[in-house]
Amino acid sequence: MIRSELKTLALALLNEKGTYFSANIDALCDMANRLVYRAVAQHDPSHFAEYTLFAFPANTEFVDLTGGSYLDSTPVRVLGVDQLGDSLTVDSENSATPLTHFDIGMHRDSVTPYYGTVVARWAIDQGWKLHLSPIQGSAVNVRVRWIDKVPDMESASDSLLADKAHDYHDMVVATLQRLLHMVERRESYSSTEFYQWISSEIQMSAGERDNDYTFPVADLY
């Protein structure tokens, strides 16, 4: 579904011709799209997950994942980190080994933090800093599984949810319809409660799927 179809359908469900919302409906479309994207990223992340491979520098405590040498974007979530062998190519001779996630706060507060292990652990700190512990004496090839932020819909032909998660496009329509209804009636709302409503709908939908896979999930920072 594209933005123009989103607007047409949401207004039709409200029995509106669109004149009342003409000034701000595009902004509300983006808001609905972002809210649903974040909820899907939290509860059904396989729709948006992607991989980026890079070399984590030697003798380095952390790297800024938003930098051009790494993800070159600000992620919504980091789902997992794998360690590779001698190259940045995954094949039969260079498999990816999942690393264990640890709590960066506990690591800092511990008198005897995670030292002396052969395989590194990983954590995400404020500002999307990726830590490997213990600090490695040589560069480590890693593969990061992450979710990028959703792009704004800048034209009427732009697709919802980055043209992914098509099963949830109707949820964007429902969210926009609810936003328009509230704006029209000048109703106040709690952003937390609104997001909780979206999340509960996504959770119910995700729970109905026959997903027979699991993914390592990091806490949001």
DSSP-derived secondary structure for 15-65:
T--SSTTTTTHHHHHHHHHHHHHHHHHHH-GGGT-EEEEEEEPTT-SEEET
Could you give the CA distance from residue 64 to residue 87 in angstroms, rounded to a whole number? Answer: 21
What does the pLDDT read at residue 108?
A: 52
| C-alpha 12: how far from chain center | 31
Which residues make beta-bridge pairs with 53? 143
pLDDT (tens digit, 9 = 90+) per residue, 114-148? 444 456 799 999 899 999 998 889 999 999 999 99
In this structure, the dihedral spanned by the alpha carbons of residues 39, 40, 43 and 45, taken in order and rounded to 10 degrees, is -140
Residue type at 32?
A
94 or 71, higher pLDDT: 71
pTM of the model: 0.81
